Chain A
């Protein structure tokens, strides 16, 4: 029997507001344990939450970017459960009235664009972090993370494969990073993804029994976990078994999912409206103000890059992968570099040098105007592309301008025909064999002679001119 997978994603993203969602503490949870804490985020008796306006604005911005409707009126609720990382033993979250709902995200898989529905995005507070000593001696709780704003983004069950889940997460992360609302660092836990997976016979409408996969540390891990889970479920059904509704963890080392908690022990969270906070009202004026502040989103920018700069879909995709990359590219073009050349340099040599230096494009030491100036020198024939490649690392590390550097190093291209004629004659004289070959009709031999000429000029010869002069000299000396 043919089965198809039905997958919905729940993604938790920590918003990078300066202070926590209900108190004034810093959101920097890398600080020494329990230093960014106060009576409110420790859940001390008598404290009350005060909602961070910035966290609401970030949440609404994400909702708008995901094409969601924004709730005019929403509220916070208490989600009750007991765990030592939960300061109040309830989490302030949103139950039936999320800040935004009914949106969608476009993903591209195998060249096809597919729309994945967004059910809702709601605001809540993060929990603290428990640590245990080996051997089960002591347990400690670090409350630095307690109360960091968290946005939970829930997709419709529109995803059909691990690859689509990967594309969904990538597209979502790209949007969040464009908005600048989250670091989206999966390893540090500022982005956490859970997948609800079931399979059903193709053509069947009803959903199968689902499992929930948690604790995956990367997008590719999520893809693998989903692929494993689909195969596991199929095998059970094909052997006449039944799927158990449960939570499963991803064991990356063994490449399998492992049962963690069955539905029987699932929580009754006893949600009820948070009486300590007034309802959240986002009127049209506020919504429009937030909308006006949205940056150009990745898919729009990508289309514009193809259209306005004549880039290939691939190049436009690479250059809009991050907002910083796209900003850098546009700054180079702004500084009068031809778009195609700018794209090639950024995607090629610049990116390679950054990777080697473990730098992000946002921290690129080479200013966009300097890169544009260097490209300009190639365009007007002052230096060759080869020279440019050679000087790029120094350009990046010294902060000098390309003009100064090539002058300092005497690298200006020799475009003086008289000078090149002299060198060409010397090269022909020194290489009679190849010269004879060329004259005998072996066109290839010219390449060798050009190489010798470049060597003699330490690469400074204008390659186009060198070619012409050599060809002419070889022809004339035969006469």
Chain B
């Protein structure tokens, strides 16, 4: 073997396929071999689709030969286990959905199949996307490819780890409060949450419906644009998806940021921000400045309320979204119960993990009569204020640049017994979900502990183009050898 194709990006593979340097089938086989070799250490995959992946690869080769390939045709990828697929299982890494097979494909899965994608399988996540470390999975503990003693971040930890460990060229995850950007930052890959409404949520098992958004994990910004091109756009099955024209996102990849105003929110750059991460981010800002961008200080005064607001809204919505998992129609059902009340009680107690139960209880509480006004209603008002902060800030800048996370990946087990500490790892990502904005995390170097740090770029609603333009320019000019995780 001359080259390790599994190290390649999607756009590099597309060139190789077009030039006849390799085939989709060969690349799929290589990835499956890579998974077999590396995944026992990383534990990203919960379900590998050996046969259907090779079938899809052969179909892709036919398309490539026929000249009808798209940029993603024949490129192997992975799916977070909460995206519904008729192939394999869709379990949200919860016992309550053990063995559950979806009767339909999510809209994004349909669109990827139309593009000729090769789906390698489903990857790990925090149960029902609740968590920031993937430790809340009912399946397994996924490791950070950069340091197997560390978490990959979460909730889409399996997606991030599969891409960082070269077990997939790209992956689709979901981001409710940072669940794409935070693990992308922890694992050193590109992760993007598009504007709420940019990608159809049909077939994404809901955690918090007003915050959830599907997005890609990729090895570089160009691939991110290519995946967005394939999955964005209105879907009549999701009336919250925006009926807006989708630009060709690769047009943003100019490398030019001259004249771009970069907002730096003073509430994010506080003394609490860790030394190493701060240093990497400031270096990144200097690079953008050298390329002609102008940093401006902006203020997001309601930032301090974001975490509280987020945990009220997301738990309230989750308490209703997860009510359907009751053992009546699908999934696991408790046996030997005497009535329907006991059926609910025992099914849910046995099927849901502790974090999920905690959030259902919190959400039920904040919606209860007598508490609704004090919690849910107040949180909705504060959410509007947080969104207004961004609107005002964007009067002075074109994008906002922050660290993705305050600290790099932490050790497995370090925060699992301290939910509040865990919740704070999403400090810098949560506000963009509340304000429904697009945001990307792009790697910005390694800390002294040899763990990746991420640069977050946030844009105006539906201005993914400005986000990609900034991230791409930085990526082109960051001037360091990114290296690879110390895996085989």
A46 touches B238 (CB 8 A): no
For the complex, is A186 an interface residue (Cβ under 8 Å from B)? no
Give A357-389 as 1s and 0s: 1 = Cβ < 8 Å from B's Cβ atoms: 000000000000000000000000000000000
B328 within 8 A of A: yes
The 0/1 profile, CB within 8 Å of A marked 1, for residues 413-449 of chain B is 0000000000000000000000000000000000000
Q: Is the CB of B236 within 8 A of A45?
A: no
Given known A39-B104, A45-B97, A270-B364, contact A277–B324 (CB-CB < 8 A):
no
Set of chain A residues within 8 Å of B208, measured between Cβ atoms = 275
Which of these binds chain A: B25-33, B52-60, B134-142, B199-207? B199-207
| Contact of A87 with B320 at beta-carbon distance under 8 Å, contacts A39-B104, A270-B369 already known | no
Q: What is the total of A-B residue contacts with beta carbons within 8 Å?
A: 98
A141 to B343, CA, bound (A): 15
Interface centre among A39, A141, A277 (most CB of B within 10 A): A39
Cβ < 8 Å to B, chain A residues 46-88? 46-51, 78, 80, 82, 84, 87-88
Instruction: Say yes or no: is B103 at the interface (Cβ < 8 Å to chain A).
Output: yes
Q: How far is the CB of B333 from chain A (nearest CB, A)?
A: 12
The answer to the question of A112 belonging to the interface, with a C-beta cut-off of 8 Å to chain B, is no
Question: In the complex, which residues 23-46 of chain A have their Cβ closer than 8 Å to any Cβ of chain B?
Answer: 39, 42-46
Contact of A276 among B82, B205, B209, B325 (CB under 8 A): B209
Which of the residues B103, B325, B367 comes within 8 Å of A80, measured between beta carbons? B367
Contact of A46 with B106 in the complex, beta carbons under 8 Å: yes
Tell whether A46 pairs with B206 under 8 Å between CB atoms, given A270-B367, A272-B367: yes
Interface check B250, CB cutoff 8 A:
no
CB of B467 closer than 8 Å to a CB of A: no
Nearest first, the 8 A-B pairs at minimum CB distance are A89-B323, A275-B210, A270-B367, A275-B209, A45-B205, A46-B84, A46-B203, A88-B324
* Chain B CB within 8 A of A90 CB: yes
A268 at the interface (CB under 8 A from B): yes
Q: Closest CB of chain B to A282's CB: distance in Å?
A: 16
A39 to B102, CA, bound (A): 9
Chain A residues near B90 (CB-CB < 8 A): 45-46
Interface residues of B in 81-140 (CB under 8 A from A): 82-84, 90, 92, 97, 100, 102-104, 106
Q: Is the CB of B209 within 8 A of A50?
A: no
Is A277 within 8 A of B367, CB to CB? no
**Complexed CA–CA distance, A49 and B236 (Å):** 10
16 more A-B contacts (CB under 8 A) besides A48-B202, A141-B329? Answer: A45-B84, A45-B100, A45-B102, A45-B205, A48-B239, A80-B323, A82-B326, A87-B329, A88-B320, A89-B323, A270-B319, A271-B367, A275-B208, A275-B209, A275-B240, A277-B239
Residue in chain A with minimal CB distance to B106: A46
Cβ–Cβ contact B316 & A46, under 8 A: no
Chain B, interface SS category: loop
The 15 listed contacts between A and B (C-beta, < 8 Å) are A44-B104, A45-B84, A48-B239, A82-B326, A87-B329, A141-B328, A268-B368, A270-B319, A270-B364, A271-B367, A272-B367, A272-B372, A275-B317, A276-B239, A278-B240
| B410 at interface, CB cutoff 8 A | no
Nearest residue, chain B, Cβ from A43: B324
Contact assessment for B209 and A89 in the assembled complex, using a CB-CB cutoff below 8 Å: no
In the docked arrangement, what's the CA distance between A51 and B106, Å?
Answer: 19
**Nearest neighbor of A274 in chain B, beta-carbon distance:** B209
Complex alpha-carbon distance, A447 and B17, angstroms:
109
B465 CB to closest chain A CB, in angstroms? 25
Q: Which residues of A contact B65 (CB under 8 A)?
A: none
User: Closest A-chain residue to B91, C-beta based?
Assistant: A45
Instruction: List, in ascending order, chain B residues with CB within 8 A of A46's CB.
Output: 82-84, 90, 102, 106, 202-206
Q: Considering the complex, give the chain A residue whose CB is closest to the CB of B209.
A: A275
CB-CB contacts of B215-248 with A at 8 A, as 1s and 0s? 0000000000000000000001111100000000
- In the bound assembly, the distance between CA atoms of A42 and B330 in angstroms comes to 10
Give the residues in chain A near B368, CB-CB below 8 Å.
268, 270
Number of interface residues of B (CB under 8 A): 44
Q: Is B340 an interface residue (CB 8 A)?
A: yes
Residues of B within 8 A of A49 (CB): 239
**Cβ-defined partner of A50 (8 Å) among B83, B210, B236, B329:** B236
* Best-surrounded residue of A50, A275, A277 (most CB of chain B within 10 A): A275
A96 to chain B, nearest CB (A): 11
How big is the A interface, by class?
A: 20 to 34
- Assess whether B323 is in contact with A82, with CB atoms less than 8 Å apart: yes
List B residues 144-203 near A (Cβ within 8 Å). 201-203
Binary interface profile of B, 251-279, with partner A (CB < 8 Å = 1, else 0)? 00000000000000000000000000000
Cβ contacts under 8 Å, A90 to chain B: 320, 323
B211: nearest residue on chain A (CB-CB)? A275
Is B394 part of the contact surface with A, judged by Cβ < 8 Å?
no
- Of the candidates A42, A78, A82, which one forms a contact with B329 in the assembled complex, judged by CB atoms under 8 Å apart? A42
Q: Please give the distance in Å from B380's CB to the nearest CB on chain A.
A: 8
B45 within 8 Å of A by Cβ? no
Residue B6 is within 8 A (CB to CB) of chain A in the complex: no
Residue of A whose beta carbon sits closest to that of B377: A272
A residues near B317, Cβ cutoff 8 Å: 272, 275
B344 interface residue, CB < 8 Å from A?
A: yes
Q: What separation, in Å, do the CA atoms of A458 and B100 have in the docked complex? A: 81
Complex interface: chain A residues within 8 A of B376 (CB): 272
Residues 261-301 of chain A: 1 if any B CB is under 8 Å from the residue's CB, otherwise 0? 00000001011100111100000000000000000000000
User: Could you say which residues of chain B place their CB within 8 Å of the CB of A272?
Assistant: 316-317, 320, 367, 372, 376
Mark each residue of chain A from 243 to 272: 1 if its CB lies under 8 Å from any CB of chain B, else 0: 000000000000000000000000010111
CB neighbours (8 Å) of A89 from chain B are 320, 323-324, 326
CB distance from B177 to the nearest CB of A (A): 15
CB distance from A146 to the nearest CB of B (A): 11
Question: Hey, which chain B residues are within 8 Å of A270, CB to CB?
Answer: 319-320, 364, 367-369, 372
Q: A447 CB to closest chain B CB, in angstroms?
A: 76
CB-CB < 8 A to A42: which residues of B? 329
B320 near A44 (CB under 8 angstroms)? Answer: no
Contact check, B323 vs A44: say whether CB atoms are below 8 A apart. Answer: no
How near does chain B come to A75, taking the closest CB pair, in angstroms?
12
Task: With CB as the reference atom, state the residue of chain B lying closest to A47.
Answer: B202
User: Contact partner of A278 among B201, B239, B325, CB < 8 A?
Assistant: B239
Instruction: Give Cα distance in the complex from A302 to B159, angstroms.
Output: 69
The distance in angstroms between the C-alpha atoms of A89 and B347, with both chains bound, is 14
A80-B320, A80-B323, A275-B209 as given contacts; A44 in contact with B330, CB under 8 Å: yes
User: How far apart are the CA atoms of A88 and B206 in the complex, in Å?
Assistant: 12
The interface residues of chain B lying within 8 Å CB-to-CB of A84 are 326, 328, 340
Please measure, in the bound complex, the distance between the C-alpha atom of A89 and the C-alpha atom of B106, giving whole angstroms.
22
Q: Evaluate contact between B102 and A268: CB separation under 8 angstroms.
A: no
**Residues in A neighbouring B83, C-beta threshold 8 A:** 46
Q: Known contacts being A46-B84, A80-B323, is A39 close to B103, with CB within 8 Å? A: yes
Q: Encode A90-104 as 1/0 by CB contact (under 8 A) with B.
A: 100000000000000
Closest chain A residue to B208 by CB distance? A275
CA distance A277 to B97 in the complex (A): 26
User: In the complex, which residue of chain B has the Cβ closest to the Cβ of A139?
Assistant: B340
When chains A and B are docked, how far (Å) is the Cα of A87 from the Cα of B320? 12
The residues of A that contact B316 with a CB separation of less than 8 Å are 272
Question: Is A48 within 8 A of B237, CB to CB?
Answer: yes
CA distance A80 to B325 in the complex (A): 14
Which has the most chain A C-beta neighbours within 10 Å: B208, B323, B340? B323
CA distance A160 to B206 in the complex (A): 48
- CB-CB under 8 A from A276, the residues of chain B are 206, 209, 239-240
B240–A88 touching, CB < 8 Å: no
Max chain B CB contacts within 10 Å: which of A46, A78, A82? A46
Tell me if B324 and A87 are in contact (CB < 8 A): yes
Contact A268 B369, CB 8 Å, known A43-B329, A46-B202: yes
Which B-chain residue is minimally distant from A45 (CB atoms)? Answer: B205
